[in-house]
Amino acid sequence: MRLNRKYSLLFLSGISAILSLIFEIIKPGHFISWSIMFSSVLILFSSLIPNKKSSAFLILLASVEFLLTISILLFSKISYSASYLIRPILQPHSTIFTKNKVARTVYSPLTGKSLNPNHPEHTINGWRIVPSKPNSYKYLINLYGGSSTYGTGVVASKSWANQLQIILNNNYPFQYGIRNLGIPGITTVEAIVFQSFYDFDPYSTLYPTCSIHYHGWNDLRNNFVPNLDNAYSQWHLLNNSHRGLLGSRYSSLIAFTSLLSSKLFTANQIPLDPLVVHKDSPQELDPRLIEIVKRNILTISYLSKRNGGKVMFVPQILNPYKLIGENRYGWLPNINDGNVMELIKELNNIIKNEVIANGDLYADSVRQEEFLNDDFVDNGHFSAKGAKKFANQVYKSIAKCS
């Protein structure tokens, strides 16, 4: 009887190992293959241990690992919001099936941060997918921005990038294709890098007819940071790069335990760096920040026009129903929550004036006062409802940019 049990476990371990190999061949570097292999190893050890309780415990761990991995994979496909807290588990690993043996991180030495190309909602080049994008089109529209452009809080099909694509599909079939080049946390600094090197679409072999930029929230993060560098490189870039390193590339169980512990012990707060926090910082725009943003706007304008395209800037929209009081929720270390809306409005106006002075376009159709609390999932990321409303407002101005 014990021998039959041992052979059954060995057989199950072998099946899991083969399944892991199949996943690795189909999607090299994806977390699911190593996780299933981890389950296989646990089952293998369980077959070699004579103690029934220890063996049963290993089988339990293997089962939890397998079920957790499959659940994470399904959640990431069904609901971006549901999987938001466990997204760092979706990390790539090195693999014998790809030439690039070090493609294991979502952090780029060029910008400090890039998207994981193995995420189910990302392209193989590491940008977020636009599901409704037609297979062929005449004109390319690139979207640049941070997490609000990326679409944090909703699945890709509900992002404002995809909602805008749907509107264009309905009004101009097979004419326009949208690329979502938004990455959580990026500023006008990183947008300059992306526009410099990644504005060309290798699939359509097109340069953008229109480049749409949505900035403000992340640039405002650098308000009154000491010795503010032109590229925000001495704090924001480093801080943004090293966020979200919890988790594991090899085991969903280990990753989930690590992430759960971090949430419990940090109360889900964004840690503040004492080197940049000023309790009594002026609740106004930093003149140094204004200078940097203006210069970046001018650079973006030049880069957008170099291949004959146009550029349109969109005013930053945030959630005034959440940004109240004298506390600081963390992302903006030197600005009280209740002052954020006033300062982002001022920054929007500064960007608008600079854009118009450069002879570029500004999306006046986007109006802060038309957004309600249920248009957001938090302080400023759109819900599905808000994303659709935002896309419709952007569309009203897009004719100027096409």
Q: What DSSP string runs through 74-132?
A: HHHHH-TTTTGGGGGG------TTSS-TT---S--TTTS----TTSTTB-TTS-B--TT
User: Average pLDDT of 151-168?
Assistant: 94
Q: How far is 12 from 10, CA to CA, in rounded Å? A: 5
User: 377 lies in a domain?
Assistant: yes
Same structural domain for residues 231 and 302?
yes
User: 102 lies in a domain?
Assistant: no
The sign one gets for the Cα dihedral 364, 365, 371, 374 is negative
Q: Which domain holds residue 80?
A: 2-89
pLDDT tens figures, 2-61: 567 788 888 888 888 888 888 777 766 566 777 888 888 888 888 888 888 888 888 888
User: 260 lies in a domain?
Assistant: no
Same structural domain for residues 60 and 207?
no
Counted residue by residue, the chain has a size of 402
Task: Give exposure, 99-122, as e/b (b: 16+ Cβ within 10 Å).
Answer: eeeebeebeeeebbbbbbbbbbbb
Same structural domain for residues 195 and 289?
yes
| 79 band by pLDDT with thresholds 50, 70 and 90 | low
The predicted structure's pLDDT at residue 148: 95
Domain boundary among 71, 89, 107: 89
Same structural domain for residues 193 and 335?
yes
Most confident of 86-100, 197-211, 270-284: 197-211
| 248 band by pLDDT with thresholds 50, 70 and 90 | low
Same structural domain for residues 85 and 148?
no
CATH of the domain at 157: 3.40.50.1110
Domain boundary among 50, 67, 89: 89
Higher pLDDT, 89 or 283: 283
User: 254 lies in a domain?
Assistant: no
User: Average pLDDT of 365-382?
Assistant: 95
Higher pLDDT, 227 or 220: 220
Domain boundary among 49, 72, 89: 89
Most confident of 70-74, 148-152, 201-205, 291-295: 291-295
How much is the mean pLDDT over the chain? 84
User: 84 lies in a domain?
Assistant: yes
Same structural domain for residues 42 and 180?
no
Higher pLDDT, 121 or 352: 352
Same structural domain for residues 396 and 286?
yes
The predicted structure's pLDDT at residue 240: 75
- Is residue 25 a contact partner of residue 37, using CB atoms and an 8 Å limit? no
User: 101 lies in a domain?
Assistant: no
Same structural domain for residues 311 and 199?
yes
User: 34 lies in a domain?
Assistant: yes
Higher pLDDT, 55 or 144: 144
| 391 band by pLDDT with thresholds 50, 70 and 90 | very high
The predicted structure's pLDDT at residue 96: 46
Residues 6+ apart with CB under 8 A from 245: 88
User: Average pLDDT of 176-184?
Assistant: 94
Lowest mean pLDDT, pick from 11-20, 100-109, 287-296: 100-109
Task: Provide the number of structural domains found in the chain.
Answer: 2
The order of strands in the sheet holding 139-145 is 176-180, 139-145, 208-214, 310-314, 361-362
User: Average pLDDT of 140-162?
Assistant: 94
Same structural domain for residues 51 and 187?
no
User: 66 lies in a domain?
Assistant: yes
Q: How far is CA 341 from CA 279, 319, 390, in A?
A: 19, 8, 18
